[in-house]
Amino acid sequence: MELDYAFIWAAIIAFSVLVYVVLDGFDLGVGILFPLGESELDRDIMMNSVAPVWDGNETWLVLGGGGLMAVFPLAYATILPALYMPLTIMLLALVFRGVAFEYRWRTTRGKRFWDHAFFGGSSVAAIMQGIALGALVQGIEIENRAYAGGWFDWLTPFSILCGAAVWFGYGLLGATWLNMKTEGALQAKMRDYAYKCAIVTLALIAVVSFWTPFLNEDYFHKWFSFPGSLYTSIAPALVVIAIWRLFTGIKQKHDIWPFAASILLFVACFGGIGISFYPNIVPTSITIWEAAAPDNSLKFTLVGALILMPMILAYTGYAYWVFRGKVKPDAGYH
């Protein structure tokens, strides 16, 4: 049986993007919540909770973006011009935020500035990711296999709504992560913020979910026609399970369940987006197979991916294992 290399690569890239969203989502969420730390010690603990892993989390963004360029060059050539502005702003924000990790611990007079940089970089990166996602979902104007839209087609009410949803969603991930990694008054405070972020996130997800099928006839057909609705119903079912585990975990003051439920919520939403897109990689104009590189290129790059991905998974898992448990006030960056 001949393998469908384009489909395999689409799955790899989708997996890489999902892992990035979950892993970098919670450390961006910590940055979003950073000003809510009442004392300098609280803010130190919050930053130290992600300091050992934040840069490794962004490996998955490089893998997803590099894979898109290498194996789906047509998709790369049409998506990037449409999203140059939000993606450039996002990358600059990530750089500014990354610098804040180091500089904040090396200054006394400028510490407050780098606190704001950590919050600002995290917030702008999260919002731009949501806006880019919203712009992609609403569709990209293509003519003769090239982007034919304008500079600001990405900025619409729907994309801004998606930006807000991602910002609050990352705040939810960050709050549940800090609930898992901290103790005492800070943990109780983050548990309260997790509840508030969850309410707003779910409201925004509901609005986006009801709006999306009306953006395109293909989306509507996939979500509301039989037998496609049998498959699409899986995503809402997972959302319901995630909501139940999230709020019961918060109410029972559980350390791990709220974070696990938040991840499940993101997985369900990501799956819903995938259902809407498939089999297109550029909604709703270019399919996976139309955008793919020649099979020989897909085979060659797949060998590298099969070697590289287990290594990334191994060192990522090892880093989380080494730094497991609660963050102590006297541990971390100094």
Q: What is the pLDDT of residues 47-106, one digit of tens each?
A: 888 888 887 888 888 888 888 888 998 888 888 888 999 999 999 999 988 888 888 877
**Rounded to whole angstroms, what are the CA distances from 185 to 42, 189, 258, 290?**
9, 6, 17, 54
**Nearest residue to 266 via CA among 65, 95, 130:** 130
pLDDT per residue over 16-43, tens digit each?
A: 999 999 998 999 999 999 999 888 888 8
For the cut 70, the answer to whether the pLDDT of residue 334 exceeds it is no
What is the CB-side half-sphere exposure of residue 168 using CA atoms within 13 A?
16
Contact yes or no for 22/266 (Cβ under 8 A) = yes
Please state, in angstroms and rounded to a whole number, the distance separating the CA atoms of residues 176 and 30.
Answer: 10
Tokens of 254: 């559980």
Contact yes or no for 108/311 (Cβ under 8 A) = no
This prediction has a pTM of 0.92
pLDDT at 100: 86
pLDDT at 275: 83
Please state, in angstroms and rounded to a whole number, the distance separating the CA atoms of residues 142 and 155.
Answer: 17
Averaged pLDDT, 277-288: 84
Averaged pLDDT, 181-210: 93
pLDDT at 332: 55
pLDDT per residue over 129-165, tens digit each?
A: 999 999 998 888 888 777 777 888 888 999 999 999 9
pLDDT at 123: 95
Q: Are strands 146-147 and 142-143 parallel, antiparallel or unpaired?
A: antiparallel
End-to-end CA distance of the chain: 56
In DSSP notation, 279-317 reads TEEETTTEEHHHHPPPHHHHHHHHHHHHHHHHHHHHHHH
Contact yes or no for 131/154 (Cβ under 8 A) = yes
Buried-state track 2-22, b at ≥16 Cβ within 10 A, e below 16: eeebbebbbebbbebbbbbbb
Share the mean pLDDT of the chain.
88
What's the residue count for the chain?
334
Kindly state the DSSP code that residue 105 receives in the 8-state scheme. Answer: G
